[in-house]
Amino acid sequence: MTPPTLTMPTPAIDAHVFKTYKRQPEVFVRGDGARLWDAQGKEYLDFLGGIAVSALGHNHARLVAELTDQLGRLVHTSNLFRHPYTEEVAERVTRLARMQAVFFTNSGTEANEAALKLARKHQRVLGHPARTGFVALEGSFHGRTLGALSVTHTAKYREPFEPLVPGVTFVPAQDAAALERALFELRPAALILEPIQGESGVRDLDFAYLRAARELCTRTGTVLIFDEVQSGSGRSGTFLVAEQAGVAPDVVTLAKAIAAGLPMGMCLASKALADTLQPGDHGSTFAGGPLVCRGALVFLRELEEGGLQAAVRERGAQLRAGLESIARECPVVLELRGRGLIQGLRLARGADELKTALYARGLIVNVTGGDVIRLLPPYVIRAEEVDRGLSLLRDALKQL
Ligand SMILES: Cc1ncc(COP(=O)(O)O)c(C=O)c1O
């Protein structure tokens, strides 16, 4: 079936689809690498990558071939049975994340649900059934399901759905003294944090703070969960930000880029921790099936053997150098944030206006945290495409 090429106006979508997203009017019908085409044939450079998902870009030849092959073999059998790809995905991802075991999910929020349940069960098994609470950071975003939402800080996401999971305390990010007080007084099951807070404006937490969090969790017997759903899977220049920070969390969650566009998430932990979840404690009908695992394998092989991790570092450095030069020329840019291919520009004003101007010029970005232009290009983006994106950004900023 050829896809419909008609432009469906937003009101027609709104008639039949929940209005949970403010959708752009553009209708994309085709992609190739870091480029997208809309229904009118207009070409765009994709500096958003489906919100940190499309690591291999669009229409990646090997991904298409392997997924097409898999579609013709087997799509789903459930977790009651084994399939040929689980072991290699698990072996690769645990080695890269310096973890020992993985639980597969379909999304980031589910990966965090698994992590929160794991932390509670772990405390119970250790003989601390009263340690059920969670400490999370101001500015956090961990997902939309009730558990993950409970540890998400933004009031407008939380309040309409209260009461949420009880026993959650938010502390200011980057304040080790506040964290120390909270962990010693509250003795929670876990501390959950994003080493780069993507949704609240690509805010990097200091490595010294992340190391302090590790030390405080060890001293208080608190499970340390790193939510690397957005920052992980190689996007920051290493597989996890944790690695650059020199921190070994107890649990790591991944999703977004890990299967290069297919819906997949993961909760990773040490064997000792993972083994506290027994058959029946947790599960998912769809998760970790043959099709998504095949997608994850293509991605992980490209990352490790295909030079993609090195490419993220190179393109990331090029992007940062270009943004620094733009920031020097454009005083409206207050601050640059992020690393690798997760970067942001905090603006003094006009972030939404700039986004609209960039779409008109054919550059896809998004605005997060109110005033930050967020850049999450595919890992396969070419050097000349980075330069082109930077030049579109510079021109649009100068006209702001
Ligand atoms: C850090 C982080 N955690 C969790 C999530 C939720 O992931 P999903 O939308 O796949 O449920 C997101 C999504 O933006 C995220 O950025």
Return the best residue to mutate from 145, 152, 229 for the ligand 1 pocket (most ligand atoms within 8 A of CB): 229
pLDDT for 14 equals 76
The reply to whether 227 belongs to the active site is yes
| Annotated catalytic residue, options 38, 46, 227, 250 | 227
The reply to whether 141 belongs to the active site is yes
User: Is residue 165 classed exposed, middle or buried when 0-12, 13-18 and 19+ CB atoms within 10 A define those classes?
Assistant: middle
Report domain extents, the chain. Answer: 10-60+308-398, 74-304
User: Mapping DSSP to helix (H, G, I), strand (E, B) and coil, where does residue 312 land?
Assistant: helix
The reply to whether 117 belongs to the active site is no
Q: Taking residues 337-360, report their average pLDDT.
A: 98
For residue 143, the CA-to-ligand 1 centroid distance in Å is 5
- The second-level CATH assignment, the architecture, of 74-304 is 3-Layer(aba) Sandwich (3.40)
For residue 95, the CA-to-ligand 1 centroid distance in Å is 23
Return the best residue to mutate from 51, 109, 202, 267 for the ligand 1 pocket (most ligand atoms within 8 A of CB): 109
Mean pLDDT in the chain?
A: 96
Structure tokens at 193: 């944090």
For residue 147, the CA-to-ligand 1 centroid distance in Å is 13
**Given the structure tokens 């992007």, which residue do they identify?**
319
pLDDT band (50, 70, 90) for residue 3: low
Measuring from atom 16 of ligand 1, which residue has the nearest CA?
230
Express each pLDDT in 81-127 by its tens digit. Answer: 999 999 999 999 999 999 999 999 999 999 999 999 999 999 999 99
pLDDT for 234 equals 98
- The second-level CATH assignment, the architecture, of 10-60+308-398 is Alpha-Beta Complex (3.90)
pLDDT band (50, 70, 90) for residue 1: low
For residue 163, the CA-to-ligand 1 centroid distance in Å is 21
| CA 78/CA 96 separation, integer angstroms | 26
For residue 141, the CA-to-ligand 1 centroid distance in Å is 7
Measuring from atom 9 of ligand 1, which residue has the nearest CA?
108
Express each pLDDT in 5-53 by its tens digit. Answer: 555 555 677 789 999 998 989 999 999 999 999 999 999 999 999 999 9
CB 176 within 8 A of CB 211: no
User: Is residue 280 classed exposed, middle or buried when 0-12, 13-18 and 19+ CB atoms within 10 A define those classes?
Assistant: exposed
Q: Is the pLDDT of residue 362 over 80?
A: yes
Return the best residue to mutate from 112, 193, 256 for the ligand 1 pocket (most ligand atoms within 8 A of CB): 256
pLDDT for 12 equals 72
Any idea what DSSP says for residue 206? P
